[in-house]
Amino acid sequence: MQDYDAIIIGAGYAGLGAALELKKAGLSDILVIEKNDYIGGRCGNVSLDGIMFPTGQEFVTRHYKSLWELCQQFEFTLTPLSLEDMLLDNPYPDIDRGRPQRIRPQNILGSFVFGRTLSPLRKISMILRAPELVYRTLLHQNPRPSLFEVSASAMGEPLAELIADTAIRATWAHSAKEADAGYFLRWLRNVARGNVYTIDGGIGLLPKRIAGLIGEEHFLLDTEVTEVTREGDSVSLTCRHNGESSAFKTRQLVVTTTGNAALKMLHGVGDDTEEFLKGVRYSSYQRVCCATEEAFPHSYILVPERRNTHIAGMTKIAQTDKAYFTVSLMAKAMREAMGRGASNDELKEVLESLDIHAISGMVEDFRVLGGVYWDEALPIFSSDHLERVERYTSYLAAHPQENIVIAGDMLGGPYSEGAFRSGIAAGRRTVKNLR
């Protein structure tokens, strides 16, 4: 059984962030395991190879501080992404099935414009992953430009402005706040101005970037983790690679996969776990999304999978010091408030009395993807849903992860920076634990 200081499961953006931090700390005895054989992330994470920096170098230096130096230290280059780079004719992985296939305009645009089954986030991520599709459809293949409210004056604007305005009008205007829509508008405008950067450029292939960072000998592709067990102060992993079973041992495990798969991997696939998973209909994702070095690693964000997904990532729990602020506490507060017919303002008072400042988008050191708009969030908190959430958090609390750090972000597109940031935080926590 091979022994490592740290093992990272998953080679997506969070895995890259964790690997950068471990490498920066001088750790060489690490292993990265990725279940896919061509790319990191279930939903692809393929629109850009690296992290999208919406406002260029200034954004990098302000929010990531040492990332610029890290890239130079590890011989990465931050390459401006041009509009032409986005319009290359590349095969994009299928978003749902995770295998390469060419996206066809007629298949995507029908559901993009008219479909009601796709969430706005999914729609916008499709556009950002296939920008050449929007370009061709708008300027060459669309027989009815009025559907997109594209005016004659708009046709004379820069191409990115046209795509941005079209995307916003078609997907966000009816269902999201102006600030959310403005994010994508600014992002696409920055593409046109050359202010969007990637790490070393290119499409997909995050595992190759990480392997280049830590060395091919420390990287396993097409490998499935089948069991995780604790042995004293270490963690043992059983993996299946090329049809054969392998075993590894580590002092610190960084898990960057999310959802039920991670839960099964960490807690086994016995009857109790299976029954528990059947009872959790919506809240199946667990992830950390934090921005500071001091952030505690076990912060879970529970995301409704199939309804109200435009507020995904905004129902959160966190731990500061020794006191848990959990979804069950939030649920208790909300049930109490709703039980007495509370208004939104009254509900905010109850939550903030628990130090849950959801409106600001911050819980102590934990930065989330945006503040909750309570008028939109309330419908998901039925008593049935709250009971499931409470069961979920109780289950997690009963299985503490002393030497396992969980990171990652289920959202693709521009939210990949959240996954990367959580990976950096997980890497820093791992380094502290090892010391």
Domain count, the chain: 2
Rounded Cα–Cα distance for residues 387 and 319 (Å): 21
User: Three-state DSSP class for 61?
Assistant: helix
What type of residue sits at position 124?
I
Q: pLDDT digit of tens for each residue in the chain (435 aa)? A: 889 999 998 877 678 778 888 888 888 899 998 876 644 332 222 222 233 333 223 333 333 333 344 444 444 443 333 333 333 333 232 222 233 333 333 232 333 332 333 344 444 444 444 333 333 333 333 333 322 222 323 333 333 333 444 443 333 332 333 333 344 444 444 444 444 443 332 223 456 667 767 777 788 877 888 777 777 788 888 888 888 899 999 998 887 765 445 545 555 555 554 554 444 322 222 222 222 222 222 233 332 222 222 222 222 222 222 122 333 334 444 445 555 565 555 555 544 544 444 322 222 222 222 222 222 233 333 344 444 434 443 444 444 455 766 665 432 223 344 556 567 767 877 887 787
Q: Report which of 49, 139, 52, 131 is spatially closest to residue 89, judged by C-alpha positions.
A: 131
Rounded to a whole number of angstroms, the distance between the first and last alpha carbons of the chain is 23
Residue 1 inside a domain? The answer is no
Whether residue 187 is found in the same domain as residue 280: no
Residue 215 inside a domain? The answer is no
The domain of 385 spans: 260-434
Whether residue 156 is found in the same domain as residue 302: no
Rounded Cα–Cα distance for residues 31 and 39 (Å): 17
pTM of the model: 0.45
Rounded Cα–Cα distance for residues 237 and 249 (Å): 6
Rounded Cα–Cα distance for residues 330 and 390 (Å): 10
Whether residue 166 is found in the same domain as residue 283: no
Residue 24 inside a domain? The answer is no
Residue 308 inside a domain? The answer is yes
Whether residue 301 is found in the same domain as residue 403: yes
Alpha helix stretches (DSSP H) within 280-363: 327-339, 344-353
User: Three-state DSSP class for 264?
Assistant: helix
Structure-block tokens of residue 279: 């009872």
Rounded Cα–Cα distance for residues 172 and 184 (Å): 10
Whether residue 430 is found in the same domain as residue 286: yes
If you write DSSP's letter for every residue of 155-219 in order, what string do you get? HTS-HHHHHHHHHIIIIITTTS-HHHHHHHHHHHHHHHTT--EEES--SS-HHHHHHHHH-GGGE
Whether residue 275 is found in the same domain as residue 133: no
Containing 18, the helix (H) or strand (E) segment is: helix 13-24
Q: Which of 168, 193, 218 is the last residue before a domain boundary?
A: 193
Whether residue 167 is found in the same domain as residue 283: no
The DSSP secondary-structure symbol of 82 reads P
